Amino acid sequence: MMAKSDMDSGYRYTIPATGGVSLLRSARPHRPMQSYLQSGVRPGPRDGAMNRRQAGLAMAAFALAQAAPHGAQAKTPDDASAGVSAQARALYARSLVVDANLSPPLRDTLPLPKAALDMTRQAGVTVMKTTLGGFNEGFEDTVGEIALVQRTIEVHPDTFMQIRTSADIDRAKREGRTGIIFSFEGVAMLEGKVERIELFRDLGVLVMQLSYNDVSPFGAGVLADPQLGLTELGRKAVASMNTLGVAVDLSHAGPRTTADALAASTRPVVVTHAGCAAVYPHPRNKTDAQLRAVADKGGVVGIYDLTYLTPSPKQPDLDDYMAHMLHALKVCGEDHVGVGSDQGLEPFDTSPAGMAAFQKDEEQRRKAGIAAPGEDRPNYVVGLNTPLRSLVIADALLKRGVSERVTEKILGLNFARAFKEIWVA
């Protein structure tokens, strides 16, 4: 596909072979290896490689783009939305729905296709926290990606809005638009500079992590030495986030970094997308002690629908997802659990072309040293591979005896409450 260039900025927006949105700097020199070593971030096969959720989004975007001209749907596993009860549909329609790690159907050219806009509206998600900057995007690329999403919102104001305050969450529900919370999972764009946190906060990035899966200048991720905790720079970063009203997200933080950040933060912290180690032990799943500590701090834990929910080679299904969700509810309490899919809104494409793209992106993650155990299966949960995944989750909660009141909290009220408490600068 032809790239779209902005001659003033020097950026070009393009769909790579796997689809989706990639932001590349025209004629930008590669960062020297020494700069990665100093920052603690390992390079991928190219500067600015996608994280796993972005890779899934890219493949889904490719599938939709290929299917659209022929009026056909991309091949995806059957989802469970057809069997949802009338009770769940009514509850979902009135609920504030917040997915703490979900990507909208972005494209390299605007306006977005009608199919993408229709899917967004019909999904019924009030607000999605969306990761920008991948796991190792540099400063310029990340700023350009923010600009691309802002431009998308500008072109489609009836569909999207940027969430900059807690009041915007209620506004998105009231106006029937999909709110997007800008967030970071990686830290390369900060380039080891705590003052960058304020700059990106001014651009509307409201949720940030201290590391991806490996070591960073601020702390350590789940694949690093578990004894590595917050660095002195990391403590300054947490203090800056607290002062500026940026949520500290510990989804990818290792055990010691998690404990240190919980102790250092004066505000609630969040785990926007994870699972429960007591249900299935995995580096990306949190222990009961960590879950309780986040809840005791006033935070919220979002349960993801990734293959990390079950041991290989089993493809996780809705029952597996609910085992993690119900365990988190038991450990954390009804005010501290939510949904954090770690997916794109568009379903994962299981066609031969989609699977080939998946394998290519997984190879990139392995070469970059950030692939977690269990990334050997397609990145979806059977039954939740649908834009209506939160509706399916609501139905599953009700069918398992969870009350409507608690279900509404899990669907979005809990994260909305936590963000309101955190974002006050």
Q: What is the pLDDT of residue 26?
A: 26
348 phi, psi to nearest 5 deg: -65, 135
pTM here is: 0.85
Structure tokens at 282: 């995995």
Q: Is the separation of the CB atoms in 338 and 410 below 8 Å?
A: yes
Q: Within 13 Å of residue 290, how many CA atoms lie on the same side as its CB?
A: 26
Look at 122-126, 201-205, 374-378 and tell me which has the smallest mean pLDDT: 374-378
**Amino acid, single-letter form, for residue 304:** Y
**Amino acid, single-letter form, for residue 150:** Q
Look at 8-17, 188-197, 260-269, 309-318 and tell me which has the smallest mean pLDDT: 8-17
Q: What is the pLDDT of residue 108?
A: 86
Class of domain 4-26+34-422: alpha beta
Q: What is the pLDDT of residue 70?
A: 32
pLDDT in tens, 295-330: 999 999 999 999 999 999 999 999 999 999 999 999
Structure tokens at 411: 């669907």
Structure tokens at 26: 């025209």
**Amino acid, single-letter form, for residue 141:** D
**pLDDT value at 37 more than 50:** no
The DSSP 8-state label assigned to residue 189 in this structure reads G
Q: What residues does 276 pair with on adjacent strands?
A: 286
Distance of alpha carbon 301 from alpha carbon 372, whole angstroms = 20
List the chain domain ranges: 4-26+34-422
73 phi, psi to nearest 5 deg: -95, 145
403 phi, psi to nearest 5 deg: -70, 160
When the pLDDT of each residue in the chain is averaged and rounded to a whole number, the result is 85
- Residues 257-275: what's their mean pLDDT? 98
Q: What is the pLDDT of residue 219?
A: 98
- Residues 328-333: what's their mean pLDDT? 98
